[in-house]
């Protein structure tokens, strides 16, 4: 009985074999794509620091002995006085590079015990950027000169950033084609995010506002009139002379822009950053009594536990005073 060959098998014979080296390169690029770029960058920086420490200490970095990691983390926490969250990220980086190399990770329960012990000693609390209040948003929008390209872009960036509760990288990635003007506001497509690395995407409804300077629809139209309707990044770069460059701004540029316009409004920018827009939107919605489900629809959080970290202060006085009339 003759053996029949499938089309795929015949193709293998005709192509002369399999290029394993090329396949490995493609495999590695796909694996890298599954992790956020900011995380990969941070892991690389942390790994270089760990490698340098191992070199100075006369220790092997790969594979690293569990005690090596324990001593390294102890050094970070007690001599450099780094935060526990920073040390935890370094542990993740070391584990990551060991997994990629196909060797056993040096992360053992003793490392977790060190982190937990220092955390209990210090009682560290996460310190985030202050939430920008709606009142201060008005001040910031007023401080932007909408007659100039820079002022129009900055105002649209801040107002839309607040209205969508987007992260700075998400704002920087927006394309003109991601926004459509609807009868009651804007439909904004978020192609992918920190919580959506697969790129399923979601469309956010942004309602029109009442004030001219903080109405997402009007400020975005004003910016697009100056920007032009060419396809590309929604928030493009602007040179010193006011020339609009058809290149996207970076997430860091979004952060710097927010701090700059907040300072221009006469507000101390030290406590604020791009995240202040997201925190401000979620806090403002919580103060209006919106449900957890509505807040998660705005923020994109998949877990109410994380989302409630933003709204805890907003709901402090949402109930009745248990000592009403006593004090």
Q: Is the pTM of this model over 0.85?
A: no
pLDDT digits (tens, 9 = 90+) for 199-223: 577 888 899 999 999 999 999 999 9
Q: Which residues in the chain show pLDDT less than 70?
A: 1-20, 22, 28-42, 124-128, 193-199, 302-324
| Chain segment 230-252, per-residue pLDDT in tens | 999 999 999 888 899 999 998 88
pLDDT value of residue 83: 87
245-252: long-range pairs with CB below 8 Å, 24+ = 248/172, 248/173, 249/172, 250/172, 251/38, 251/167, 251/168, 251/169, 251/171, 251/172, 252/168
For the stretch 267-299, pLDDT in tens is 998 889 998 999 888 888 887 878 777 777 787
CATH numbers and ranges of domains, the chain: 15-122 (1.10.150.130), 134-311 (1.10.443.10)
The count of C-alpha atoms lying within 13 angstroms of the C-alpha of 193, restricted to the half-sphere facing its C-beta, is 18
Please tell me the distance from the alpha carbon of residue 46 to that of residue 140, in angstroms, as a whole number: 37
Strand boundaries in the chain, DSSP class E: 179-182, 185-190, 202-207, 236-238, 244-248
**What CA–CA distance (Å, rounded) separates 238 from 140?**
19
């Amino acid at each position: 009985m003759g053996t029949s060959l499938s089309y795929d098998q015949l193709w293998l014979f005709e192509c002369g074999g399999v290029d394993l080296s090329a396949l490995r390169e493609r495999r590695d690029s796909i694996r890298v794509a599954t992790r956020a770029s900011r995380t990969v960058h941070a892991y690389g920086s942390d790994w270089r620091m760990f490698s340098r420490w191992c070199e100075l200490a006369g220790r092997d970095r790969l594979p690293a002995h569990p005690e090596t990691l324990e001593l390294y983390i102890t050094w970070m926490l007690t001599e450099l006085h780094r935060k526990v969250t920073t040390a935890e990220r370094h542990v993740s980086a070391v584990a990551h590079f060991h997994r990629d190399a196909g060797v056993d990770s040096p992360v053992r329960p003793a490392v977790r015990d060190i982190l937990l012990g220092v955390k209990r000693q210090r009682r560290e609390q996460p310190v985030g950027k202050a939430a920008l209040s709606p009142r201060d948003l008005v001040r910031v929008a007023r401080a932007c000169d909408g007659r100039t390209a820079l002022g129009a872009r900055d105002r649209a960036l801040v107002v839309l950033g607040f209205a969508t509760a987007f992260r700075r990288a998400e704002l920087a990635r927006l394309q003109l084609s991601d926004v459509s003007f609807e009868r009651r506001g804007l439909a904004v497509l978020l192609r992918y995010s920190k919580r959506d690395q697969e790129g399923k995407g979601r469309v956010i409804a942004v309602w029109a506002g009442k004030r001219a300077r903080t109405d997402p629809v009007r400020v975005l139209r004003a910016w697009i009139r100056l920007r032009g309707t060419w396809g590309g990044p929604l928030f493009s770069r602007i040179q010193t002379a006011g020339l609009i460059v058809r290149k996207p701004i970076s997430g860091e540029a979004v952060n710097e822009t927010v701090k700059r316009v907040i300072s221009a409004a006469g507000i101390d920018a030290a406590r604020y950053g791009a995240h202040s827009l997201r925190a401000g939107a979620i806090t403002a919605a919580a103060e209006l009594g919106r449900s957890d489900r509505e807040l998660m629809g705005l923020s994109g959080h998949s877990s109410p536990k994380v989302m409630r970290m933003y709204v805890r202060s907003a709901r402090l006085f949402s109930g009745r005073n248990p000592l009403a009339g006593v004090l």
